[in-house]
A and B are shown apart, each in its own frame.
Chain A
Amino acid sequence: MDRRAFLSALGTGWLVQTAGEHPPRIAGQVVGASHAAGHLLRGGAPVVSSAVVRAVVQEKADVVIVGGGVSGLSAAWRLAPAGLDVAVLELEPRPGGTSTWGEEGAVPHPWGAHYLAAPNVEARAALRLLQEMGAVTGWDAAGRPVFDPRRLCHAPQERLFYDGEWHQGLVPTDALSIAERDEMARFLDIEEALTVRRGADGRPAFQIPLDMSSRDPDLLALDRLSMEAWLDREGFRTPFLRWYVRYAMLDDFGGAPEDVSAWAGLHYFAARKLRTPELEGSHFLVWPEGNGRLVKALIERARPRIMLGSLAMAVHDLPQGGVAVDYLDVARHEVRRIEARAAVLATPAFVTRRLFPAAAPMLPVRTSSPWLVANLHVEDRFEPNLPWDSILYEAEGLGYVDAAHQLTDLAATTVPASALRAPRRQTVLTYYRAFGGADTTAARSMLLGSAWEGLADGVLRDLAPAHPHLREVLGRMDLMLWGHAMPRPRPGFLGERPFETTCALGPRIAWAHVDQPGMALFEEAQARGVRAAELLAGDMGVVLGESWL
């Protein structure tokens, strides 16, 4: 009999039950993103007229980058060796885009992207950054990167709340029916075959960077199917496998299988090629603040001038050469202008169209998935076997990750016993929910129209099957409402001319965003930024040396 059972047994029979429970109040707020300011763009002229317009040129830079997400900062990172004056215009109070993070509370935590799968050897820019950060410590004889073991997601990685209890790992093998297990095995076989498959042109069927994937028409034909239709076609019918694929599609693309291209869906399962003994346990690179750590690394190396609270409103190709960007300084409520030799628009397609209408015909039309991210600051008993990722089968959301999991310092999150309370452990759990349905507009207005109370309550209800008493250990819950979190690779997203996307929008203007490939991967975002920087450097006559791509 364990201690808990013993103590409960002791209590039964003659002891009165604890006094009635009253749910404790939870603090929290919606912390972003800045929809109100962002949506000013839709208004166009009226906003400009209501703000004080400074006609004079306010600022100058060598390169101005619109958007301080991974693409924009990667462009700055690529330009850093040239010693240029690079200005980054960012609307939000913290850079990083959907890789942004929070520092409040016991441990830094992600507000968006929270891990990076070990990049393929071909994703050279990503590996270069990781090496600069020390996360890649060297290269093995086969030319594969060697990772700092502290960065690879520590064991145990995942657990699934299935049929009323937690199971280690994402697949609760013991609890599944034979049919479910067989289908799972068949699916993994297909995954493995596709991972090593090459198209008729000799390229890998699925690769990261995306544009190194095969052009084989048989493979590209998958883009005309939805992932759902592919599962039907291949005869995958068991509930568990359908859920498993649905979970993966929502987790990576924010879209349900019926609204995601089968090519993209299979890319998710078959694009990771790196196989080493060190990666067997987990090939996820994890930091407490998620990909916020990668953003920090980019900033530390690039050291651009980041102008937070700046909403770019229009980009002008100047007749005398160079570019000008008009932007709203949100705090001062005045429109200012920054002139530069070149500009990178590291913004989604729908924003880029408004900033620089001349380029509109060149830009793809993307659907973006709305997301809700909640950070739950909890304080609970120390439990030595908690995994990084906790997932609830058939829940609305995608579960949560534990920000403190990857710390090697147990003491860092411990609250020592004091006179008034027992010793506890503090952490931040980051909960994700993607709105994967086809009608993203309705989902977005529902999300942005909801108050904190309703949304926070929804998060607690979603986690309640596994954590009925979460309120009792919850100190605060903050929410981030991502209206446009990521492009959704819908069927047909590869378009007429797959992998050939526009980078140059004008002589001195380049576009860098994951809306180009249509899939939100860190490596893609980074490669797009690097490519934009290298393109503009050529235009400006700045020597950057060999390409980093």
Chain B
Amino acid sequence: MSASEASVPPPNEAPEVPEAPGQDAVAGPPRRAARAALLASVFVIATSGLIYELITGTLASYVLGDSVAQFSFVIGLYLFAMGIGSYLSQYLESKLLERFVEIELGVALVGGLSAPLLFKVYTASGAFRVLLYGLVLLIGMLVGLEIPLLIRLLKFSLDLKQLVARVLTLDYIGALVASLLFPSLLLPRLGIHQTGLFFGLLNAFVALGSTFLFPITRADRFRLRALCALTVLVLGAAFAMVTQFVERAEAIYFGAPVVHSAQSPYQRMVLTQSPRTTRLFLNGNLQFSSDDEYRYHEVLVHPAVAALGRDPRRVLILGGGDGLAARELLRYPSVEQVTLVDLDAVVTDAFRTLPIATRLNQGALTDRRVTVRNEDAYKFLEGCTESFDLAIVDFPDPGNYAVGKLYTDAFYQLLRERLGVRGVVVVQATSPQYARESFWTIVTTMEAAGFMTAPLHVYVPSFGEWGFVLAGGEGLAAPGGLRIEASTLRYLDSAGLPELFRFPRDIGRVAAPINRLNDQKLVAIYTREWSVWTR
């Protein structure tokens, strides 16, 4: 058999000898409808092939991280596998239409189920990569088999020039459509599992349709339709179940489509976007909502600057990898240097590069005054010899012992050594409403470390009543007025400032222990208090 079937023959080669009738199942040229159907299926195959590739690439970068490398591997492997498929197509010699339907069903099943399969294996760690690359290889090979097969099926109704032009055009257009639809519509709207299963179903229907349009022997037709029905049934059931699970877990959980998600060694980061609102979740906990984060970040930053009583120059931000506290801080022209220490490069990278994120933090993380250091804040303080006017501490809530270390007296003592005698620090301190004892434990612990404190709170609709601890050396007092023009802010003004420092009775001070490294009472208190509200 000639090797030139799937490509334009070299000019010197002898014209192709038509294959003997009976070698292919098609006795004569397919009817017009069949030809249109074959061409349509080229389009569907091209589109769905690329969709599967994008799904596996996306899952690989979710699970394994390093999206550039993952996409690069998946695309390379997929194209290579298509090459293998194309090569192997020469060995398919008889009953091409039947083979085509079977291959189509194979693509439908493997491609459609790839996302749920990979998710399943994700929990059983080791096998993930094996399955990932195995699936990419398999899908690539099946798709690679199909296109040459289609060309051979169509070669009797079109001349080679037209045939190659149409098939390749549709193939490339399909790829374009897939690559545009996937990130913009399919992934955010339909979800990764449903997208795969939807295209799997589409492949299955193409296969089913083919059994009606193509001249296939009765016995084969019955067998193939049964196979099609089975495939549709499996994919349909999966679709129904997956939708149910994903709707419950993701859409309901996050409340909006997920536009970016990444797994770091420490946490899973998810950004969601609804028409109006951007939200950041770390390990499923809401970190901010663009609707009202300004309340949180204005109260975190501006009263502290006011309490400083002078122009801030050198500022330390611990945590705060979203750059929103930095954004508030950079409103002060006196600020010369901001050192932002956040453990998780996955978060700071996202907030440095993603347009959806840099719109919110106004590019704070790329500001020339800001230095981002991806280090453990504890380790940073131990090794740090600089001193700062102001420190803004914006860690996740003390829900586990690894974060809890950053709320201990030992940590605050280290922090105090990094502030000049007149330095000021402000610490996000969870909700005095939902976790009243936790909040006052943080206050007590900071006082045990030698700080004077001035606790404050604000209502943030997404979070409820939220608390902060402003602290400093001898003589620290709640500030009387802002050091910034209130008109540049959205929430705070000088008149409202005293109200932040007044604690109504239901969130007022309670006796609380000191949180120590060797006795992290705060983690237990916090977990107990929040469990009441999240049950």
Contact = CB atoms under 8 A, between A and B. Distances in A.
Interface of A: 1, 3-4, 6-11, 13-16, 18-19, 148-150, 152-157, 277-282, 381-382, 384-385, 408-412, 414-425, 472
B contact patch SS: helix
Interface of B: 63-66, 69-70, 73, 113, 116-117, 119-131, 234, 237-238, 241-242, 245, 248-249, 263-266, 268, 284, 343, 374-376, 378-379, 382, 400-405, 408-410, 514, 516-520, 523
B234 A154 contact: no
A8 B127 contact: no
Contact of A417 (B113, B265, B343): B265
A18 B121 contact: yes
Could you say which of B123, B128, B268, B374 has the most chain A C-beta atoms within 10 Å of its C-beta?
B123
Given A14-B237, A419-B66, A423-B264, A3 B518 contact: no
A10 B250 CA distance: 13
Interchain residue pairs A-B with the least CB separation, the first 3: A281-B519, A417-B65, A11-B120
Given A418-B66, A419-B70, A155 B375 contact: no
Contacts of A424: 265
Could you say which of B69, B248, B249, B519 has the most chain A C-beta atoms within 10 Å of its C-beta?
B519
B265 A154 contact: no
Nearest to B245: A10
A409 to B, nearest CB: 4
A39 B249 CA distance: 65
Contacts of A9: 245
Contact of A149 (B264, B400, B409): B409
Given A384-B403, A415-B265, A423-B263, A149 B70 contact: no
A315 to B, nearest CB: 44
Nearest to A380: B125
Nearest to B128: A422
A384 B517 contact: no
A contact patch SS: loop
Contacts of A416: 65, 265
Contacts, number: 149
Given A8-B123, A408-B376, A154 B517 contact: yes
Contact of B241 (A13, A418, A419): A13
Contacts of B514: 277
A19 B284 CA distance: 31
A7 B125 CA distance: 12
B249 A6 contact: yes
B120 A154 contact: no
A150 B65 contact: no
A256 to B, nearest CB: 30
A274 to B, nearest CB: 13
Given A155-B520, A157-B518, A419 B64 contact: yes
Contacts of B249: 1, 6
A359 B47 CA distance: 90
A412 B122 contact: no
Contacts of B266: 382, 384, 410, 414
Contacts of B343: 410-411
A445 to B, nearest CB: 39
B400 A384 contact: yes
A18 B124 CA distance: 8
A170 B478 CA distance: 45
Nearest to A155: B520
A149 B523 CA distance: 17
A278 B519 CA distance: 9
Contact of B64 (A154, A381, A422): A422
B265 A414 contact: yes
A155 B519 contact: yes
Given A10-B242, A382-B266, A408 B119 contact: no
A7 B263 contact: no
A106 to B, nearest CB: 13
Nearest to B73: A419
Contacts of B237: 14
Contacts of A472: 125-126
Could you say which of B119, B127, B265, B518 has the most chain A C-beta atoms within 10 Å of its C-beta?
B518
B375 A411 contact: yes
Nearest to B248: A1
A147 to B, nearest CB: 9
A11 B119 contact: yes
A385 B404 CA distance: 10
A433 to B, nearest CB: 27
Contacts of A279: 518
Given A385-B402, A410-B343, A281 B238 contact: no
Contacts of A8: 120, 123
B152 to A, nearest CB: 33
Contacts of B376: 408-412
A281 B516 contact: yes
B172 to A, nearest CB: 28
Contact of A11 (B116, B130, B400): B116
Given A3-B268, A472-B125, A472-B126, 19 more contacts: A1-B248, A7-B120, A10-B119, A11-B119, A18-B124, A149-B516, A153-B518, A155-B519, A278-B518, A281-B517, A281-B519, A384-B401, A384-B402, A410-B343, A410-B402, A411-B343, A419-B64, A419-B69, A423-B263
A126 to B, nearest CB: 19
A149 B120 contact: no
A176 B382 CA distance: 42
Contacts of A10: 116, 119-120, 242, 245
A427 to B, nearest CB: 13
Contacts of A157: 518
B129 A423 contact: no
A282 B66 contact: no
Contact of B378 (A19, A408, A414): A408
A414 B125 CA distance: 17
A19 B117 CA distance: 12
17 contacts: A7-B123, A14-B234, A14-B237, A15-B120, A18-B131, A149-B516, A155-B404, A155-B517, A157-B518, A281-B516, A408-B405, A410-B378, A410-B379, A410-B402, A418-B69, A419-B64, A422-B128
Could you say which of B70, B234, B379 has the most chain A C-beta atoms within 10 Å of its C-beta?
B379
A161 to B, nearest CB: 19
A10 B122 CA distance: 11
A117 to B, nearest CB: 13
Contacts of A421: 64, 129
A16 B109 CA distance: 13
B373 to A, nearest CB: 11
A188 B288 CA distance: 48
A155 B401 contact: yes
Contact of A155 (B73, B374, B403, B523): B523
A472 B128 CA distance: 14
Contact of A152 (B238, B382, B518): B518
Given A18-B127, A417-B66, A422 B518 contact: no
B119 A422 contact: no
Nearest to A2: B284
Could you say which of A157, A410, A421 has the most chain B C-beta atoms within 10 Å of its C-beta?
A410
A156 B517 CA distance: 9
A489 B64 CA distance: 53
B435 to A, nearest CB: 18
A5 to B, nearest CB: 10
B265 A382 contact: yes
B1 to A, nearest CB: 36
Contacts of B120: 7-8, 10-11, 15
Contacts of A411: 343, 374-376, 379
Contacts of A415: 265
Nearest to B68: A419
B379 A154 contact: no
B493 to A, nearest CB: 39
A281 to B, nearest CB: 2
A418 B119 CA distance: 19
A4 B463 CA distance: 26
Contacts of B268: 3
